[in-house]
Structure 1
Amino acid sequence: MEQNNIESQIKSAIRQPKFLVVSSYRRACGIAQYVEFLELPLRDQVDFDVEIAALPVDLLRSQSPYARAAAIKEFKEILLKVDQADVVNIQLEPGLFGFTPRQIWRNLNAIIARSKKVIITYHTVPPMDAERFRLSRAGLLNYLRDWRGNYVFNRLFAKVRKNPKKFQHIVQTAREAKNFGLQGIPGDTITHRPLAFVSEPVRREMSHEAAKTEVSMRMNIEAGVLLGCFGFLSQYKGIEVAIRALANLPDNHHLLIVGGLHPEGVQKGNVEQPYITKLIREIDKHRVMKGRVHFCGALDNDEFNQVMLACDAVILPYAEVGQTSSGPAALALDMRRPLYCSHTKCFSELDRYQPGSVTFFEVGNHIELAQKLAKREGDAPSRIDARARYLEKYSVEHRAAAYFVAAKRLLQG
């Protein structure tokens, strides 16, 4: 007993390096969801004292003078935590840090300036294939989005190049790592790994059959094949492609649409939200769809996981928008779910980590999707084997370990 007390006193006397994560947290946001899953394996290790500082995203993005005053007060509290940290991890999506490019950079730069060492996790990267400006609403929005990103990243990379030993960088694909090197970021400071969410202990307790039984009862589905689309309801998600594919499948196939409108995408003062209206019209075109499309709404993490686990196939029919990673795709692989994705750069890069883990169909081709679902191509032995091999190399535990490897490099440098 005395020996244990002495060991405990020695351990408490040794100060652990403080590892601070600055991110959105506990809100309707894909990055917040990622951090909430990452938190458990981060805290399980013993080498660092881990803390999470939640960004006041809504306040930072508001243009109200009252909100701005409140944002300044909360942001100062985050900076005090930054001062006390040995390593600061910034979960970087520019829109989390403000509304205008100048405001975003001011806030991001304030954190970097006050940090001793910095690990940046990039959920958005500089556009390498930006389109030429087109005289249209969509063209203007794309131009402004790219300009905002370039404004922030130009300044960020200039700061990194001046003091590269202060930084480590975590990106989601090998392509991003290569592009960062072309931007003058030293290769030995860049780590690339796919997103991951579900821990091994949680995965061991998961049962597809039990989840399917529970979700089917809740959704009043007697029997059949459950297909699922996941994520915020946005135009580029292509959910109408999945609905058209469903119309070409037997009546025992059901489509679960999991997710709500993104808070930033809700049109104020209008109950006719354009994308939802589009989906309803698509359903109304096909009489055979009655009772086979189920809107599940926005779910918390546990409910979201339960519905995905229940699905016989996960469908992500996204348009090509230059997206670099997908949380739902990574989560589906975590859960060993058959995964059907449109052939975009994002999903192609994910499949490169373990070829064969994703079943592809061409963007917008609902007939091809329906045919592959009907053949259950995602359940082929080679696909099952590929998904198992993927999890041996890429999990949330591996992901958390990468953060601490980066942190130790910084502290030893």
Structure 2
Amino acid sequence: MTQKRLAIVCSYNESCGNASYAHVLRNKFSEYVHCDVIPLDLFLLQKSSPAFQSAGDRHIAEIAARLSAYDYVNIQFEAGLYGAKDADVLRRLTMLLDACRSVVVTMHRINPPTFHLPRVFWQFAETFVAGHPIVATRAMLAEIFYARPAAKLYSRIIEACRRRSRAANVSIMVHTKRERRIVREIYRFDKVVDFPITFLTEDQRREVLEKTDVEAFRRRHGVAPGVKVIGAFGFISSYKGYETLIHALKELPDDHHLYLFGGQHPASVAENVQLDPYIESLLKLISEKNDEVVGDARRRLMPFTRGRTVPADTGPETAGRMEETLSKLLSYDLLKRVHFIGELSDPHFIEALRGCDAVALPYLEVGQSMSGVIALAIECGANLYCARNRSFAEVMKYYGEVFVSFDIGNHVELAQKIQRGGNRFEEARNRALATYNLQSNVALHLEKLGFTLPAEPRLPQTGTAQPAA
């Protein structure tokens, strides 16, 4: 019997969640079909000059020509991977769709048509009056210059899927039930399914839970004895709300340290920029919070002492406390409790998720689909603290209550709950992951592609990661 062939089109040789997700899918698909990865050349695709535009189109045309040799195709789609302009993105995806006989387009985000100018200005006014002028301005500009055009692009992309579905087997996969409803009820395309992001096989998950060496993790990152590690993960971006973590750190005891496992997003690297503006703002905030603590302590001590001299009539117990406060004041440095670790390899990323005393995801509400970090954190049994945004509310529709929640931006609530101690929700996670796992994810992909799974998977074969053309 001729072996079926499947190609995954994605940003494979890049440092991003899309590439990591495609890698685990390829390994699992390979238990059933011959699976190759055809990587996108982002060097050619993500620039808008005419020369790069033409080169990018040729690159996509070459990929499309190769897809004719495959029975099935999975396109991992994020708009920014396929072009700098909406017209380029739509044209290139259409070229790929037209080359496929059976395809699942995995969309990692769907923008609904929500733009309404009076509502945008009203929300701006409310936020501005509440004392958040920068947040209000950013939100309004994002709505006007990003959300509305993005919704129009996704409408056209789904229309391209609908046109191709008249001659080929075309399905869309999304990662939340909300986005499935958007595709089906707003954009009126019925061949859509939803499934959360998954990364680990059952054996891999068991190994993480049972064999992660927390002490090795602490030695690797220089974590001092007695320090409680609060971890933040992934690229450092403004929508992740890291300001909330810094505010919370100020409220926590000195033995709590913040570790940022991730670095600047490659797409934000610009010529002649000495420091990423968002990272610069975080460093400034750390300095400001440090000065607040020192200033408050000085004001409290001022009535009792000048400089470092304790009044002679002060009792020994009070004098001891004052000396201790003075000592802490002189040595206080919030920056020493914030650690920028940088990017990690996948195994060390997983080890850190499991090894942290707390994993905090204080993300703002930006209309994000499912986060790859929260998906992997749930699989790894991380001690999770998540902001109450709509994306994480969607996660709960699959997994139930498997993390501690706090209101967006409420650093006091976050600090109190971290200090109180979390709950890894082992039983609830095990129940949910019995249904929403990598095996079920791949089975759903193959079902929509028209492949019938055997009763038992065959032994894995070696697919290839095809070089970019």
What interval of TM-score do these two structures reach, taking the shorter chain for normalisation? Answer: 0.7 to 0.9
1:109 aligns with 2:86: no
Please give the secondary structure, in 2, of the residue aligned with 1:177. helix
For residues 16 and 151 of structure 1, what CA distance do their matches in structure 2 show?
Answer: 40
The equivalent residue for 2:300 is none
> Equivalent of 1:41, from 28, 36, 48?
28
Is the Cα–Cα contact under 8 Å of residues 7 and 35 in structure 2 kept in the other structure?
yes
For residues 116 and 259 of structure 2, what CA distance do their matches in structure 1 show?
Answer: 34
The equivalent residue for 1:10 is none
For residues 28 and 347 of structure 2, what CA distance do their matches in structure 1 show?
Answer: 17
The equivalent residue for 2:207 is 205
Q: CA deviation at 1:251?
A: 2.1
Q: CA deviation at 1:207?
A: 5.0
Q: Which amino acid aligns with 1:96?
A: L
Residue deviations 1:209-266 (CA, integer Å, cap 9, x gap): 8432122112222223221111111111111211221222222222110111112222
1:25 aligns with 2:12: yes
Distance 1:367 1:393, change over 3 A: same
Distance 1:326 1:404, change over 3 A: same
1:259 aligns with 2:275: no
The equivalent residue for 2:415 is 370
**Worse overlay, 223-232 or 341-350:** 223-232
The equivalent residue for 2:448 is 406
Q: CA deviation at 1:186?
A: 5.1
For residues 406 and 266 of structure 1, what CA distance do their matches in structure 2 show?
Answer: 38
> Equivalent of 2:394, from 338, 349, 370?
349
Q: Which amino acid aligns with 1:393?
A: T
For residues 110 and 339 of structure 2, what CA distance do their matches in structure 1 show?
Answer: 34
Please give the secondary structure, in 1, of the residue aligned with 2:369. coil
For residues 414 and 202 of structure 2, what CA distance do their matches in structure 1 show?
Answer: 31
The equivalent residue for 2:355 is 310
Q: CA deviation at 1:289?
A: 2.4
The equivalent residue for 2:38 is 53
For residues 226 and 208 of structure 1, what CA distance do their matches in structure 2 show?
Answer: 20
Question: TM-score w.r.t. structure 1 length?
Answer: 0.88
The equivalent residue for 1:139 is 140
Q: CA deviation at 1:156?
A: 2.5
The equivalent residue for 1:178 is 181
Is the Cα–Cα contact under 8 Å of residues 62 and 68 in structure 1 kept in the other structure?
yes
For residues 162 and 281 of structure 2, what CA distance do their matches in structure 1 show?
Answer: 46
Please give the secondary structure, in 1, of the residue aligned with 2:7. strand
For residues 117 and 56 of structure 1, what CA distance do their matches in structure 2 show?
Answer: 23
For residues 155 and 113 of structure 2, what CA distance do their matches in structure 1 show?
Answer: 13
Percent same amino acid at aligned positions? 31
When Rg is computed on C-alpha atoms for both structures, the one with the higher figure is: 2
The equivalent residue for 1:83 is 68
Distance 1:210 1:403, change over 3 A: closer
Unaligned runs of 5+ in 1: 1-13
Q: CA deviation at 1:66?
A: 4.9
Please give the secondary structure, in 1, of the residue aligned with 2:68. helix
Distance 1:100 1:244, change over 3 A: same
Q: How many residues were matched structurally?
A: 392
> Equivalent of 1:228, from 228, 231, 245?
231
Q: Which amino acid aligns with 1:173?
A: T
The equivalent residue for 1:152 is 153
The equivalent residue for 2:338 is 293
Distance 1:210 1:34, change over 3 A: closer
Unaligned runs of 5+ in 2: 125-136, 291-331, 454-469
Residue deviations 1:334-371 (CA, integer Å, cap 9, x gap): 10112111100000010121221121100000000011
Q: Which amino acid aligns with 1:341?
A: C
Q: CA RMSD in A?
A: 2.4
The equivalent residue for 2:316 is none
The equivalent residue for 1:7 is none
Is the Cα–Cα contact under 8 Å of residues 370 and 391 in structure 2 kept in the other structure?
yes
Question: TM-score w.r.t. structure 2 length?
Answer: 0.78
Q: Which amino acid aligns with 1:389?
A: R
Q: Which amino acid aligns with 2:430?
A: A
Is the Cα–Cα contact under 8 Å of residues 209 and 310 in structure 1 kept in the other structure?
no
Residue deviations 1:154-175 (CA, integer Å, cap 9, x gap): 2222233443662112111111
The equivalent residue for 2:279 is 276
Q: CA deviation at 1:65?
A: 5.0
Q: Which amino acid aligns with 2:144?
A: Y
The equivalent residue for 2:467 is none
Is the Cα–Cα contact under 8 Å of residues 155 and 187 in structure 2 kept in the other structure?
no
Q: Which amino acid aligns with 2:418?
A: L
Distance 1:172 1:210, change over 3 A: closer
Distance 1:66 1:300, change over 3 A: farther
Q: Which amino acid aligns with 1:274?
A: P
**Worse overlay, 84-93 or 281-290:** 281-290
Residue deviations 1:98-130 (CA, integer Å, cap 9, x gap): 111111111000001111122111101022434
